[in-house]
Amino acid sequence: MKLLSEIIAGLTNNLRSGSLFPTMTTVTFWPESRTCPQCGVWMKVLNTTTKPAATLAIGQFLAREYHYYCPRCGFVVGSEELRGLVPERCNIGYGVLAYVGKEFFLNSRDNEQIVMNLREKNVIVCRSEISYLAKKFIVCLALLHKKVQKETRAFLSMNGGYILHLDGTCEGESPHLISVLDGITEIVLDNTKVPSENADDLIPFLQ
């Protein structure tokens, strides 16, 4: 019984993503469909590419991706699943990016702490890369915010509209950072930098 519980404890310890693949493993991704979405023809294998990748669930791994091509129209397709995990031409997955952003901006962790926490998840990044990823997170968040503007508007109108809260902050002579959020859902709707909090500077932003 003692031996059994030791084995179970060992297995539980090994469930951490950091222990899932102690050596770099290769995960293969195929396109989701074998038929061409443009003309319905059976596609052929064009090539495979391999790149290092890192996600929170797996840790570091090699992502091998199959690409198919359509012999009739030349359409080329890769794996949507891989694209959903790791951005094209990048190695760090979206999940890691979001983790770094939250740890950095919401939980005020410094680069060193984030590097150590990621190492436990078998994701190896250097301290300077954390600063880069935190900036990239903000850019991605801003782009996503813009992309779902219509959906956000529809969601707010379902709630019967919004209560606009507006506030600004500045340091010395720096521009004023103005943020507006909906008081009901607490969703930040937009923000901007303006020279002052005067009506002339604020009205164009609110319009």
**Contact between residue 46 and residue 150 where contact means Cβ atoms under 8 Å apart:** no
Site map (CB under 5 A) of Zn ion, residues 30-69, x = contact: ------x-xx-x----------------------------
Cβ burial, residue 70 (10 Å; 0-12/13-18/19+): buried
From 73-81, 96-104, 128-136, 179-187, give the range in contact with Zn ion by CB under 5 A: 73-81
In the complex, minimum distance from the CB of residue 47 to Zn ion, in angstroms, rounded to a whole number: 17
From 70-78, 104-112, 133-141, 151-159, give the range in contact with Zn ion by CB under 5 A: 70-78
In the complex, minimum distance from the CB of residue 37 to Zn ion, in angstroms, rounded to a whole number: 8
Closer by beta carbon to Zn ion, 33 or else 157 = 33
Q: How far apart are CA 36 and CA 73, in angstroms?
A: 9
Q: What is the DSSP letter of 30?
A: -
In the complex, minimum distance from the CB of residue 74 to Zn ion, in angstroms, rounded to a whole number: 7
In the complex, minimum distance from the CB of residue 75 to Zn ion, in angstroms, rounded to a whole number: 5
In the complex, minimum distance from the CB of residue 32 to Zn ion, in angstroms, rounded to a whole number: 15
Closer by beta carbon to Zn ion, 66 or else 75 = 75
Q: Which two tokens stand for residue 2?
A: 């003692």
Q: Is 70 in the site for Zn ion (CB under 5 A)?
A: yes
**Rounded to a whole number, what is the largest CA-CA distance in the chain?**
77
- Return residues touching Zn ion (CB under 5 A): 36, 38-39, 41, 70, 72-73, 75
